[in-house]
Amino acid sequence: MANAGRGKASNTLFEWQTDSLANTNTANAQLEGDDVSSFDAVSPTVRLGNYTQISRKTVVIAGTEEVVNKAGRKSELAYQLAKKGKELKRDMEAICLANQGAAAGNDTTARVTGSILAFIKTNVNLAGDGANPTYTTTPTGTRTDGTVRPVTETILKDVIQQGWTNGANFSTYMVPGVVKQEVSGFAGIATKTYFQSAKDVMPIIGAADVYVSDFGTLSIVPNRFMRTRDGLLFDWEFVSVDFLRPFKQVPLAKTGDAEKRMLIVEYGVRVKNEKALGITADIS
């Protein structure tokens, strides 16, 4: 969520347009003074959409707990609200990276937003028994997980090349912790160097943060909230988290000797063009 843009949703089903450029034409040579008798075909834009999702955290603090000496903090209510706020953002991070398809919901089922994984279907390297999500305008499907296989530099290079061919400029390869350790051993990792002044304690460098590919340099970013079988490539210009209702603290009705609060937010994932994303799927 820190890397993705922040946008505004205008409805529970928020929509946007996506487009692509025509293939290059090496036969595009015209006569001098030629008149235009025919026109290039116009490709219509594609209307995409996603649903917003409501997430919340609640707090109830007894009146006595709020006034007694707590040896380190003034207000138990303020402390718990700050803690719940961090937990809510952790939930949102995991939801954005989950294998979750969009759903409108109903009176008994909550509305959910389609995750990053529900969008990606072009720049992909996956196991033979895996499958990409299928959708036309709204990412209601999910990925079919295949048999996991060891992550290799060949898998990563394949997805980077696919993305470059389709116009993406990947800047980040986001991976779970166990995969991060494997990626640090790839041949394309930049030389592991560290500027060290003489007066400081010399650290031991055992990790790689930059991968230099044939099509650009990528930051290798570990994410503890993503699934352990996925590696995601991002062109961040095309990803945002859109808010229908931003984070808000709501006092709840007092029904006894306690203070009640609710932290609530309504948001959804927007992928402006899924060809700007990539996935090394089914890796271990």
Give the chain's mean pLDDT. Answer: 92
Do residues 55 and 91 touch, judged by C-beta distance below 8 A? yes
Query: What does the pLDDT look like over 74-89, one tens digit per residue?
Result: 899 999 999 999 999 9
Q: Which helix (H) or strand (E) holds 213?
A: strand 210-213
pLDDT of residue 281: 98
pLDDT of residue 144: 98
% of residues, the chain, pLDDT over 90: 82
Buried b (16+ CB within 10 A) or exposed e, 243-281: bbeeeeeeeeeeeeebbbbbbbbbbbbbbbbbbbbbbbb
> How many CA atoms lie less than 13 Å away from 26 in the CB half-sphere?
0
Residue 64 three-state SS: helix
pLDDT of residue 20: 87
Candidates 139, 158, 157; CA nearest to 212 is: 157
Do residues 2 and 223 touch, judged by C-beta distance below 8 A? no
Query: What does the pLDDT look like over 234-266, one tens digit per residue?
Result: 999 999 999 999 999 999 999 999 999 999 999
Task: Compute φ and ψ for 86, nearest 5 degrees.
Answer: -65, -40
- DSSP assignment string, 10-49: -SSEEEEEE--PPPP-TT----TT----S-PPPPPPEEEE
Pairing of strands 5-8, 239-251: parallel
Distances (CA, A) of 75 to 59, 63, 89, 137, 191: 13, 11, 22, 48, 49
Ranges of the chain whose pLDDT falls below 50: 205-206
